[in-house]
Amino acid sequence: MLTIEDFNITRRFPTHWGDMDKAQHINNLVYLRWAETIRVVYFDAMGMNTSFAPGDIGPILAWQDAKYIFPMTHPDVAILGVRTIEVMPDRFLMETAVFSEKHERIAAITKQIIVPYDYDKLCKAPMPDSWVAGINKLNA
């Protein structure tokens, strides 16, 4: 079973009253927003250039899924951990786990495939060596 200690990049996100849906659970989309935010934190930590200057290769989200395990409610604090679990020649697979601080348990797991993208040519690009090095540094 996953624990927050399985992740070297973590962040805390307090819930807000407006995050709840009609069932008074944190809305599923909020989990994906938290995952998006910590994903960018991870990109910064791996040294990825996310400025999207002309000629730069940047990340594009190619696929994601989410498994909702436990319904969080407000008030609570979501503790997120993120890591790369697989590097392929042209993409990498990330995993984000959401933990409820209040209930001391996992609330959701998300996975994302990130593809290097040439925003000038509007097409997939080769995996930059610097990205692989950054991922390896974080996984060490």
Tell me: the pLDDT tens digits for 21-40? 999 999 999 999 999 999 99
Percent of the chain with pLDDT over 90: 91
Percent of the chain with pLDDT over 70: 100
Say how far apart CA 40 and CA 9 lie, in whole Å. 11
pLDDT-based confidence at residue 140 (cuts at 50, 70, 90): confident
Does position 93 have pLDDT exceeding 90, yes or no? yes
Span 91-104, average pLDDT: 98
CATH number at residue 113: 3.10.129.10
* pLDDT tens column, 44-77: 999 997 777 777 899 999 999 999 999 999 999 9
For every residue of the chain, DSSP letters joined together read ---GGG-SEEEEEE--GGGB-TTSSB-HHHHHHHHHHHHHHHHHHTT---S--TT-EEEEEEEEEEEE-S---SS-EEEEEEEEEEEETTEEEEEEEEEETTTTEEEEEEEEEEEEEETTTTEE-PPPHHHHHHHHHHH-
HEC per residue, 1-20: CCCHHHCCEEEEEECCHHHE
Q: Across the strands, what pairs with 116? A: 59
| Structure confidence at residue 25 (pLDDT) | 96
**Spacing of C-alpha 71 from chain mean position:** 19
pTM of the model: 0.94
Range of the domain at 42: 4-139
Considering its fold, how many domains does the chain have in total? 1
